Amino acid sequence: MNQHIIKSDATIREALTQLNGLSGGVMTLVVIDSEDRVDGTVTDGDIRRGLIAGRSLDDGVNTVMHRSFKSLKPGDGPREIAAARCRGIKLLPELDAAGRLVGLFDFTRCENRLPLQALLMAGGKGERLRPLTLTTPKPLLEVGGKPIIDYNVAKLARAGISDVTVSVRYLADRIRSHFAEPSYGINVKIIEEDAPLGTLGAASLIEHAAGGDTLVMNSDLLTDISLEEMFLRHSEQGADITVAAIPYTVSVPYAILATDDETNCVRALEEKPTYSYFANAGIYIFSNRLLDTLGRGERCDAPDLIERCIADGGKVIYHPIAGTWIDIGTPSDYRHANELMRLAAGRF
């Protein structure tokens, strides 16, 4: 039996013993009846309050359990999971239509369960990082003592994404060997491009779930983007494509003229203006319906499909990244990433 499950006919003493065995983990028990229906939850705090109120250790655990518990029910999805986490819940029972326990969602292990497939693009040569990439593919270069790509696989695992594929070409065997064993609980699949397929063409080589969506991202990024927030925005707005975007500022070191082209007159001067834009961050959510329009093995860059979608009247939205984003493409980027990890360990 799962260590977090206790029968409703158990005593408070038995519940305390079981909770003591959970020390260091989530200190919550789920109380079920003889037919596996969930009656409530109990913590050491519930027991403490019961004892103060006069309960004894030999009383039933059902006398102190919390009956108004939160749970996941059939039809609940990422939004309900996110709402429970925001309430500070650590362990969330999952029930079937009859109220029977079918699973436990442990927020200390996983933040959500996003219904996404994921494709990490890892086929590039990383030429600007040579000689570092002469014998090591860029995704396997270590930042803070861990390969770059592992940060992204760990992020996918925390988001509850388990269908993960890595597209490879340059030094493919090194990456294939790296993922020979499960990584962060995920059996990562590898597909190899016979010829360069651009930044999105590899998506044509995998099967896509009907009606679903696929997260596509470059494997050499270091970012603390919330994939949960990005997916919820994509879902709420009914988007065909969501593009993660980073703020990009351009400062002009001169006075800029506002002119009238017909008269050659100057209407105003703006001294050393600064312009802000959103730039493509190399992280996307694509509708599988769109990805299925790619011919198998068709070379395609992500902007090509985005422009095609817009031209066809599709809905393309952006999701701004408020935190860290580093594209590790140059030696200076690589040094910056290592320094960041030294100062901010645990954020990624």
pLDDT tens for 139-198 read 999 888 899 999 999 999 999 999 999 999 999 899 999 999 999 999 999 999 888 899
State the Cα–Cα distance between residues 77 and 20, nearest whole angstrom: 32
Residue ranges of E strands in the chain: 5-7, 28-32, 38-43, 91-95, 101-106, 116-122, 142-143, 146-147, 163-168, 189-192, 213-218, 221-223, 241-251, 255-260, 265-271, 274-287, 316-320, 325-327
State the Cα–Cα distance between residues 113 and 79, nearest whole angstrom: 10
Instruction: Determine phi and psi for 145, rounding to 5 degrees.
Output: 85, 10
Q: Which of 69, 119, 139 is nearest to 284 (CA)?
A: 119
Q: What is the pLDDT of residue 339?
A: 84
State the Cα–Cα distance between residues 57 and 47, nearest whole angstrom: 9
State the Cα–Cα distance between residues 195 and 127, nearest whole angstrom: 17
Q: Cβ distance 91 to 85 under 8 Å?
A: no
Q: Cβ distance 328 to 148 under 8 Å?
A: yes
State the Cα–Cα distance between residues 112 and 4, nearest whole angstrom: 19
Q: What is the pLDDT of residue 288?
A: 96
Q: Cβ distance 269 to 179 under 8 Å?
A: no
Q: Which of 122, 212, 134 is nearest to 168 (CA)?
A: 122
Q: What is the pLDDT of residue 175?
A: 94
Enter the tokens of residue 278: 């959103």
Q: Which amino acid is at 75?
A: G
With vertex at residue 111, the alpha carbon angle to CA 106 and CA 114, rounded to the nearest 5 degrees, is 115
Q: Please name each of the domains of the chain with its CATH number.
A: 5-106 (3.10.580.10), 116-343 (3.90.550.10)
Q: What is the pLDDT of residue 323?
A: 86
* Per-residue pLDDT tens over the stretch 27-36: 999 999 999 9
Collect all residues with Cβ–Cβ distance below 8 Å to 53 and sequence separation of at least 6: none
For residue 206, pLDDT over 70 is answered with: yes
Q: Which amino acid is at 260?
A: D
- Mean pLDDT is lowest, of 20-24, 159-163, 183-187, 206-210, for 20-24
State the Cα–Cα distance between residues 34 and 60, nearest whole angstrom: 15
State the Cα–Cα distance between residues 51 and 218, nearest whole angstrom: 55
For residue 211, pLDDT over 80 is answered with: yes
Rounded to the nearest 10 degrees, how much is the dihedral formed by the CA atoms of 167, 170, 174, 179? -10
Q: What is the pLDDT of residue 82?
A: 94
Highest mean pLDDT among 20-24, 131-135, 224-228, 294-298: 224-228
For residue 297, pLDDT over 90 is answered with: no
232: helix, coil or strand? Answer: helix
The neighbouring-strand residues paired with 176 are: none
Collect all residues with Cβ–Cβ distance below 8 Å to 143 and sequence separation of at least 6: 151, 222, 328, 334, 337, 338, 341
Radius of gyration of the chain (CA): 26
Q: What is the pLDDT of residue 290?
A: 95
State the Cα–Cα distance between residues 123 and 132, nearest whole angstrom: 16
Give 114: exposed, middle or buried? Use CB within 10 Å, 0-12, 13-18, 19+: buried
State the Cα–Cα distance between residues 212 and 78, nearest whole angstrom: 14
Q: Which of 111, 47, 113 is nearest to 76 (CA)?
A: 113
Per-residue confidence band for 245, with pLDDT thresholds at 50, 70 and 90: very high
Q: What is the mean pLDDT of residues 96-120?
A: 93
State the Cα–Cα distance between residues 249 and 89, nearest whole angstrom: 40
Range list of H helices, the chain:
12-20, 44-52, 78-86, 148-158, 172-178, 227-236, 288-291, 302-311, 331-343
For residue 1, pLDDT over 80 is answered with: no
For residue 346, pLDDT over 70 is answered with: no
Indicate the pTM of the whole model: 0.86
Q: Cβ distance 193 to 203 under 8 Å?
A: no
Mean pLDDT of the chain: 91
For residue 19, pLDDT over 80 is answered with: yes
